[in-house]
Structure 1
């Protein structure tokens, strides 16, 4: 039966590929080719407005909890250490940036809820996963404080697109989220009045299941050496995949997802296959509209590595406090070969630093760019 399904899928994909106007799948476009990015003159001002708005939401959280969190992905669900392995036999078009250097790299990772407030696990919504890779070497992005670092941060969510779309939409949505911070009903009503209402409600329709079973996507585009693309991580182990049947009940505990992750990592390792989609056309594979899912028929995922986490305590309190209060993650503090692309990423160059600064001010703490996995408890 599986062979029949695979044959039918291949036939469907072949027919779809034949009808597509996209360039050939292997006609990979250079990352700075015309049309890949279109930078608008007012982006800096809008990025500052978004940062102001998100700082206000950080203050709302502080007023509620007497503790400041990140501007998004507020609720920690699990923290684990592991490795990223880059194989030595990648094809030249995949041997790019970090992935041009075969070997095993230490990594630290955080599972979290995406919303800007401490959401009960009984409520569906986007789930995220961030990874800090250590012992990374190569030309760095020209970002303040990045010159002497040896890390690379990657950010994933459990949907292949992001409803925030671009800098203009992001500003509008963040202002609504701040306005209705204490009124989910008011926010839902305001979103229903938008022309992109279906898109804005899409995150609430994601399956509220055990996070260990989720595939994770960068959602937005990044430079991938000579080219550009999206990255994703897919669960490999059967024991991870089978957890997709565990759905959070509306009457379940506030901490159901972190409880499940803790129970999983207490008895089993996790393994993900890391893959990349490479773009061939700004029309079919845009960077400026991050709400468009790149068709896997015209931009198939290709394996570039594996991520593995051994059995461990995924909710050690010392590790949680260290990450939440001291850890810096920033997509603009990394390799030039993995430069963030599109306005939804360019705004992060402003927002992440402002968020970190506000968090440090309110908590009277000092965040830092750690350079060794051993610095993390």
Structure 2
């Protein structure tokens, strides 16, 4: 009797498990079919600006100022994101000698040209925390002595061309409206509500929550062995592109970083210091671009969508060399803290595109001015 009962329960549980597996597979297939339909081309070649974007941007600036005040370090006001730097290092960006003529625009117009630059490597959080914490990692590059009129007319940035990136190919919001909702929840200390703004499941952003969780990744062994992405699109002459920076150790002397003590709060700075300052070994990267094919789903206004590399592979346009150097001094760290990076410090040939980039123009400029004013620094 008991044996028959156990056999019956076993068959019942087996059937229930099979039904759950089949339902899961059906749900997965429906989801794939839905997103294949939703994320299908063609897409616009030009920007599409919502009517309420400027008003939302002003509200986001207010939230950003609240965040920098919440996270101020004693008397210093920090950045509203990427507050903790591993270091600012000197770099050289060389345009490829054999660069394809169609990609010769802006700072890439002269094959073989070498640009001197500053490179800032950072954690993504608005408050400095231990490097082992899950976080985004950032790279910002500032080319120096770049001639020509820039999109932003501030004289102190007249000779600069900036590239701003972090180590994930997509962003966790699609537009300025969603960014406002998400950012306001974070500013209010209600991170759980950032992707669940109300009880209506139609407002939930499960896909974007997954992107955010993937973005908050474990720390790499070194910031010099990580790929960094522009996330949002830009112009490159007549092309709409995204760009990224990838490690290129084949262009540098062989180097094996000694194992790092990841319990140290600043072990990523230590890794940078060990390679560049102690072992005196340079680091190498390549700067690459990916051209939009508007026949496929490569939108300009939704940075939460990754452009397919199968359809549009990345193409190298320049090499980046980070030479051996001493960078970890009090003076240079203060200089690093006072540097301002903005993708709108740019030639018109590199104009930022899309809502998140338009938001960056307003927020970066306002928060940078506020931060420098409060810190009494130029």
TM-score range, shorter chain: 0.7 to 0.9
Residue 89 of structure 1 deviates from its aligned partner by 2.2
Contact 1:210-1:260 at 8 Å conserved across structures? yes
1:162 paired to 2:156 = no
Residue 88 of structure 1 deviates from its aligned partner by 3.3
Partner of 2:148: 138
1:85 paired to 2:94 = yes
Gap regions ≥5 residues in structure 2: 1-38, 197-203
Number of residues paired by the alignment?
327
The residue correspondences of 1:208-223 to structure 2 (distance < 5 A) are 208-223=220-235
1:262 paired to 2:273 = yes
Secondary structure of the residue aligned to 1:328 is coil
Q: Specify which of 169, 172, 188 is matched with residue 181 of structure 2.
A: 172
Residue 312 of structure 1 deviates from its aligned partner by 1.0
Residue 228 of structure 1 deviates from its aligned partner by 1.1
CA distance in 2, matches of 1:190, 1:248: 35
Contact 1:140-1:147 at 8 Å conserved across structures? no
Partner of 1:298: 311
CA distance in 2, matches of 1:90, 1:160: 24
Partner of 2:137: 127
1:230 paired to 2:233 = no
Shift in CA distance, 365/162, structure 1 to aligned 2, threshold 3 Å? same
CA distance in 1, matches of 2:261, 2:139: 19
Partner of 1:58: 68
Shift in CA distance, 287/168, structure 1 to aligned 2, threshold 3 Å? same
1:99 paired to 2:108 = yes
217-226 or 275-284, which moves further after superposition?
A: 275-284
Residue 341 of structure 1 deviates from its aligned partner by 0.4
Residue 35 of structure 1 deviates from its aligned partner by 4.3
> Quick one: higher RCO (CA 8 Å, sep 6+), 1 or 2?
1
1:332 paired to 2:335 = no
Secondary structure of the residue aligned to 2:87 is strand
Contact 1:221-1:342 at 8 Å conserved across structures? yes
Residue 288 of structure 1 deviates from its aligned partner by 0.7
Shift in CA distance, 128/289, structure 1 to aligned 2, threshold 3 Å? same
Partner of 2:16: none
Partner of 1:11: none
Secondary structure of the residue aligned to 1:65 is coil
Gap regions ≥5 residues in structure 1: 1-19, 24-32, 181-185, 367-377
CA distance in 1, matches of 2:303, 2:256: 29
Contact 2:234-2:240 at 8 Å conserved across structures? yes
Shift in CA distance, 240/67, structure 1 to aligned 2, threshold 3 Å? farther
310-319 or 98-107, which moves further after superposition?
A: 310-319
- With normalisation by structure 2, the TM-score equals 0.80
RMSD of Structure 2 on Structure 1 (CA): 2.6
The residue correspondences of 1:348-363 to structure 2 (distance < 5 A) are 348-363=360-375
